[in-house]
Amino acid sequence: MRPALSVINLISAFLLLITRLLSTGLLPAKMQGRMRKLTMSFENFTYSVRLDTRGRKCLVAGGGKVALRKSASLLKSGACVKAVAPSFISGFKELSPVPPASLTLLEREFVLEDVKGAFIVIAATDDPKVNARVAEEAKKEHCLVNVADDPAAGNFSVSGTVDLSGVNFAVNSHGLPRLTHLILEDLKKTYGPALDGFAPYLDKMREKMQKDLPDSNDRLQFWRSALTEEVLELIKDGQTEKAKEIIENAAAGYRSQS
């Protein structure tokens, strides 16, 4: 098993490399400007959240690969997506939303009224001018806005995510998608197999302890003593039964005290 700090070291080294490259001026002017713009843009987004989009109206402007990916993730979260574009790639017709999610495809140009009543607006066309117009109108309507080609033009960014048996990891690498991909893949390899059986066990234990320890402060102390770094290392090493044993013993100790 690789040391836990490997991912942190990777992030630090990569960001340090980008910083040094930008400071040396060795990169082509166009590339340097783009990288500086991206890294600075993502620094604006400092507050991470998870949103309840079930049944909420969301607009995606665009009909290409980026718009398809954005639409698919919104539908997966239960949103009611309206996608607007002069044309759509074939993947849109293959999307199968499950209620309360729904999908409406409008093959036409974006109009100002499209943002009315939208909770989230995503500008993902291949025309920067259209994206800027979508963002401007969405902000007037106090919508949450994400702009694919110009993060600073919106008011939120979307982190790369991976869900492992109900444990959700979110990674934001300041506009460096390759680094985000590497980190997410590392998380899958490190935690994926072990969490398959352990996360459901923790859900059941949480329900049990809510009954056995009605007081929230008691439960907080229990989990602090039971779910430790030692247990996390056992999970990462695939020793889930040993990790469960430690938690069960801690639970038995708390029950005997009550």
Same-domain pairing of 76 and 136: yes
40 found inside a domain = no
Q: For the segment 157-170, what is each residue's pLDDT rounded down to a tens digit?
A: 988 999 888 888 99
pLDDT tens, residue by residue, 205-252: 999 999 999 999 999 999 999 999 999 999 988 899 999 999 999 999
Confirm if 42 and 172 have CB atoms less than 8 A apart.
Answer: yes
204 and 130 belong to one structural domain: no
Whether 236 maps to a domain, the answer reads: yes
Structural domain contains residue 45: no
The answer to whether residue 15 scores a pLDDT higher than 70 is no
3-state secondary structure of 143: coil
Please, which pLDDT band fits residue 116 given cuts at 50, 70 and 90? very high
Indicate whether 71 and 136 sit together in one domain: yes
Of 108, 131, 158, the last residue of a domain is: 158
More confidently predicted of 159 and 42: 159
d(CA 39, CA 27): 15
Q: Is the pLDDT of residue 138 over 80?
A: yes
pLDDT of residue 2: 46
Q: Is residue 24 part of a domain?
A: no
Q: Which pTM was predicted?
A: 0.76
Residue 254 or 121, more confident: 121
Same domain, 128 and 65: yes
Give me the pLDDT at residue 3, please: 45
Is the pLDDT at 139 greater than 90? The verdict is yes
Q: What is the pLDDT of residues 168-185, one digit of tens each?
A: 899 988 778 888 999 999
Residue 118 has pLDDT above 70, yes or no: yes
Residue 177 located in a structural domain: no
153 located within any domain: yes
The answer, yes or no, to whether residue 99 has pLDDT greater than 60, is yes
pLDDT score at 228: 94
Q: Are residues 151 and 200 in the same domain?
A: no
Classify burial at 87, counting beta carbons within 10 Å of its beta carbon; exposed 0-12, middle 13-18, buried 19 or more: exposed
Inside any domain, residue 233: yes
Q: Where are the beta strands (DSSP E) in 52-118?
A: 57-61, 80-85, 102-107
- Out of 108, 135, 158, a domain closes at 158
Contact 121, 99 (CB under 8 A): no
Q: In this model, does residue 97 exceed pLDDT 50? A: yes
Number of domains in the chain: 2
**3-state percent helix, strand, coil for the chain, nearest multiple of 5:** 55, 15, 30
Strand 167-171 to strand 160-164: parallel, antiparallel, or no bridges (unpaired)?
antiparallel
Q: Are residues 148 and 77 in the same domain?
A: yes
Would you say 169 and 162 are in contact if contact means Cβ atoms under 8 Å apart?
yes
Is residue 131 located within the same domain as residue 224? Answer: no
Q: Do 70 and 121 have their domain in common?
A: yes
81, 96, 201 from 100: Cα distances, Å: 11, 12, 28
Same domain, 61 and 117: yes
Decide which of 39 and 42 is more confident: 42
Q: Clarify whether residues 154 and 199 are in a common domain.
A: no
Provide the CATH number for the domain around residue 110: 3.40.50.720
148 and 198 housed in the same domain: no
Q: What is the mean pLDDT of the chain?
A: 86
189-201: pLDDT as tens digits: 888 888 887 988 9
Asked whether residue 136 carries a pLDDT value surpassing 50, the answer given is yes
**Residue after which a domain boundary falls, among 158, 175, 208:** 158
Structural domain of residue 246, as residue ranges? 193-257
170 falls within a domain: no
